[in-house]
Copies of this chain bind each other. A is one copy, B any other.
Amino acid sequence: MFEKISNLQMMIKKDIPNCENCLTRKLSIFAGLPSDDLKNISTSKRCVYFKKGQELFHEGVNANGIYCIYTGKLKFARIGVEGKEQIIRFGKKGDIVGYRSLLSRETVSANVIALNDVVACYIPKDIIVKMISKDALFTSQLLMKACHELGEAGKFITNLAQKSVRERLAEVLLILHTTFDVDDLGFIDVNLKREEIASVVGTATETVIRFLSEFKADGNIELNGSRIKLLNLNKLADIGSVYDY
């Protein structure tokens, strides 16, 4: 266990470059910024790592900075009635976390939890605020991101309200597939329990399992422990009434 942490720390020291040379940056809202700004961020940022299950943010706190995810996978989960978890979206390499709370000056509205080991850069609030007032490109990329996510949320709401569990599950499988891609064996490359999938879909764990069994029996997916491989994307899109796939 101690060994692992030690490795992770070494990995950070060795692998995280400064912002100017960061390849992950190109995926993020920091893409295309002038090198002055990047230098500025680079000197102010702080590298942080999280082990699987650890929280980057907890519902209710104030964000005093944001994380830029260098590597790893995240879930954003709200705690609903009776303490039940509802996953509202995912994050990965290149994503920015905490900006919603920081910019709306509201408390963080979801628990953000590492799905595997995560390496990230923490950038303090004042740097971000300064950049917003200075760099129009940065700001417009931030706005674009927020507005894009707002559109996605609207989609999510419509689906949740109108589609059946079976449809929603098929769609979520496709979303996971595009979001996290597949490993070398073709399985969706993210470690989610059935219970967590249920909490994305908004249903009971057993119901997820039942439909997964059905999809498997019909040859549309393959299962291996908790791992899932999609065999027939078109059929799943069909089942999920996903038209823009």
Interface residues, chain A, with chain B CB atoms under 8 Å away: 76, 78, 80-82, 84, 86, 88, 99-101, 103-106, 109-110, 132-133, 136, 139-140, 142-144, 146-151, 153-163, 167, 202, 241
Contact = CB atoms under 8 A, between A and B. Distances in A.
A153 B156 CA distance: 9
A88 B149 contact: no
Given A81-B163, A86-B157, A140 B132 contact: yes
Chain A contact residues: helix, strand, loop or mixed: helix
A147 B151 CA distance: 12
A86 to B, nearest CB: 4
A104 B153 contact: no
**Assembly stoichiometry (copies):** 2
Contacts of A88: 154, 157-158
A151 B104 contact: yes
Contacts of A101: 147, 151
Contacts of A159: 80
A132 B160 CA distance: 34
